[in-house]
Amino acid sequence: MAGWFKIDLWKRVIAALVVGLAVGLGLRYGMGAEAGGAFAETWIKWIGDLFLRLIRMLIVPLVFFTLVSGIIAMGDPKRLGSLGARTLGTYLGTTAIAVTLGLIMATIFQPGASLTPDTFANADGSGLEDARARADAAGGLVDRLLNIVPTNPIEALASGNILQIIFFAIMLGVGILMAGKIAEPVAKWFDGASEAMMKVTIIVMETAPIGVFGLMATVMATKGLGVLQSLGTLAIALYLACVLHMIFTYGFGIIKGVLGLPVLAFFRGITDAQAVAYSTASSSATLPVTITCAEENLGVDKAVAGSVLPLGATINMDGTAIYIGMVALFGAQAMGIEVTLSQYVLVAVMATLVSIGAAGIPSAGLLLSGAALTQVGIPEAQAALIIGFILPFDRLLDMMRTMTNVTGDAAVATAVAKWEGELDEGVFRADDNLSAHVDDREKPVPS
């Protein structure tokens, strides 16, 4: 048993995925679609359902606590100092571009369109009318915007109204910062609560291999292989959006366009951090390498790197923002829901805010995308099913969005350092001529 937990979680998830796939297809083609499907519904489905309930349990407290503590972290003068406004402005600006790009890609590629709405219907077939009715009932833009403000925050928490929860979390975070010294214990408490929720998430994720097995076997037995096409399209759309964002927004936009620095030197300088981000799928775990790359290869001053990068690893997640917007549209396409212009805007705002709240750990973005799914009118139960449907494949998607998140942190750190006059351009440009690996930094630097 101990040996089981020693294997990386993602490897266990992939193994479970393969076994679930084989068992589900075995049932479908061995017993026949009808009998195999019925067998899976009776004997295996509950395993996936249990896992989905665990995920649903996480969403509200995870959003609430991580967002309040995220806001508190932003205002911590020790972390931000005089760099504050610029850093936050650049973070938000790039995230807005990211989320727009994600929505455009998801609209072009239509990853959810190949699914039929009944993929995510409840067992009794309900859930779909409910989704459409909710989408219709949500009203016009003014009503929707008004509805962001909760009249009773406790009710918002209890009913899981994510936008209202986000609004209240931001207000509370700001209030705690404004109250200053007297509210320090509360700030600490929220930090602790958000850490604790992250641990609860980790416990739940430990059950993912079993849940993934249940979900996969049931989907394959009842729906067959065809449903995988949609996930392939989702992966292509996400990879493309992330690559475009890294090259054009960070590379040619910030590094070359705004700062006038060589693009290649930037990417060579952060290769190590990108590789670690891609393989760990965690911005937080990558942070030490990101800091080293920024200081040693990009010439970012220690104080800037030490304040801007930890903050970025917590709140600047462009890859995650791209993804959350995409998942919302994926769900809407699968459920056959028309997304109106005002919903696009709200999904974009939601994706930006949720990406700020997301923790830099594997799969955080997917778990929180439930918030954006409910925004296009998808009921919570179906949102959990959609998350459960994507989850077995999330690792591959997570690796790419984490790499994007980390690249964004490094680009913003470079920009802030340059604006503050704390960028050693000799070191940055040296990478034009030299190999940029962290351990090569002893080499002489031509100026």
Per-residue interface string for the shown chain with ligand ASP, residues 278-307, x marking contact by CB under 6 A: ---xxx------------------------
Q: Is 119 in the site for ligand ASP (CB under 6 A)?
A: no
State the minimum distance, in angstroms, from the CB of residue 226 to ligand ASP: 27
Residue with tokens 């609209």: 107
What tokens does 257 get? 């366009």
State the minimum distance, in angstroms, from the CB of residue 394 to ligand ASP: 8
Q: Which of 358, 376, 415, 423 binds ligand ASP (CB under 6 A)?
A: 358
Answer yes or no: are the C-beta atoms of 364 and 358 closer than 8 Å: yes
Q: How far is CA 204 from CA 57, 58, 309, 364, in A?
A: 10, 9, 28, 12
State the minimum distance, in angstroms, from the CB of residue 318 to ligand ASP: 10
Q: Is 364 in the site for ligand ASP (CB under 6 A)?
A: yes
Q: Is 317 in the site for ligand ASP (CB under 6 A)?
A: yes
State the minimum distance, in angstroms, from the CB of residue 244 to ligand ASP: 18
Residue 364 or residue 372: which is nearer to ligand ASP going by CB?
A: 364
* Selected range binding ligand ASP among 38-46, 88-96, 218-226, 357-365, rule: CB under 6 A: 357-365
Q: Is 407 in the site for ligand ASP (CB under 6 A)?
A: no
Residue 360 or residue 392: which is nearer to ligand ASP going by CB?
A: 360
* Selected range binding ligand ASP among 52-60, 122-130, 246-254, 354-362, rule: CB under 6 A: 354-362
State the Cα–Cα distance between residues 322 and 33, nearest whole angstrom.
Answer: 37
User: Would you call 364 exposed, middle or buried from its count of C-beta atoms within 10 A (0-12, 13-18, 19+)?
Assistant: buried
What tokens does 72 get? 């508190």
Residue 95 or residue 222: which is nearer to ligand ASP going by CB?
A: 95
Q: Is 401 in the site for ligand ASP (CB under 6 A)?
A: yes
Residue 209 or residue 365: which is nearer to ligand ASP going by CB?
A: 365
How many other C-beta atoms can be found within 10 angstroms of the C-beta atom of residue 327? 30
Number of residues lying near ligand ASP (CB under 6 A): 16
Residue 119 or residue 402: which is nearer to ligand ASP going by CB?
A: 402
State the minimum distance, in angstroms, from the CB of residue 240 to ligand ASP: 17
What tokens does 12 get? 């266990």
Element (H, E) at 13: helix 9-31
Question: DSSP letters of 19-41?
Answer: HHHHHHHHHHHHH-HHHHHHHHH
Residue 409 or residue 420: which is nearer to ligand ASP going by CB?
A: 409
State the Cα–Cα distance between residues 171 and 43, nearest whole angstrom.
Answer: 46
* Selected range binding ligand ASP among 27-35, 140-148, 276-284, 292-300, rule: CB under 6 A: 276-284
Listed in order, strand segments (DSSP E) in 190-290 are none
Q: Is 363 in the site for ligand ASP (CB under 6 A)?
A: yes
Q: Is 55 in the site for ligand ASP (CB under 6 A)?
A: no
- CA 27 to the chain's CA centroid: 34
* Selected range binding ligand ASP among 3-11, 38-46, 246-254, 395-403, rule: CB under 6 A: 395-403
Q: Is 362 in the site for ligand ASP (CB under 6 A)?
A: yes
State the minimum distance, in angstroms, from the CB of residue 17 to ligand ASP: 18
Q: Which of 63, 68, 361, 372 binds ligand ASP (CB under 6 A)?
A: 361
What tokens does 148 get? 């962001």
State the Cα–Cα distance between residues 146 and 144, nearest whole angstrom.
Answer: 5
State the minimum distance, in angstroms, from the CB of residue 362 to ligand ASP: 5
Q: Which of 20, 365, 370, 377 binds ligand ASP (CB under 6 A)?
A: 365
- CA 342 to the chain's CA centroid: 22
What tokens does 80 get? 């931000």
Question: DSSP letters of 47-110?
Answer: HHHHHHHHHHHHHHHHHHHHHHHHHHHHH-HHHHGGGHHHHHHHHHHHHHHHHHHHHHHHHHH-
State the minimum distance, in angstroms, from the CB of residue 286 to ligand ASP: 8
Helices 9-31 and 394-419 cross at an angle (nearest 10°) of 150
Q: What is the residue type of 77?
A: P
State the minimum distance, in angstroms, from the CB of residue 1 to ligand ASP: 27
State the Cα–Cα distance between residues 324 and 99, nearest whole angstrom.
Answer: 8
Helix (H, G, I), strand (E, B) or coil at 115: coil
Question: What is the contact surface with ligand ASP in residues (CB under 6 A)?
Answer: 281-283, 317, 320, 358, 360-365, 398, 401-402, 405
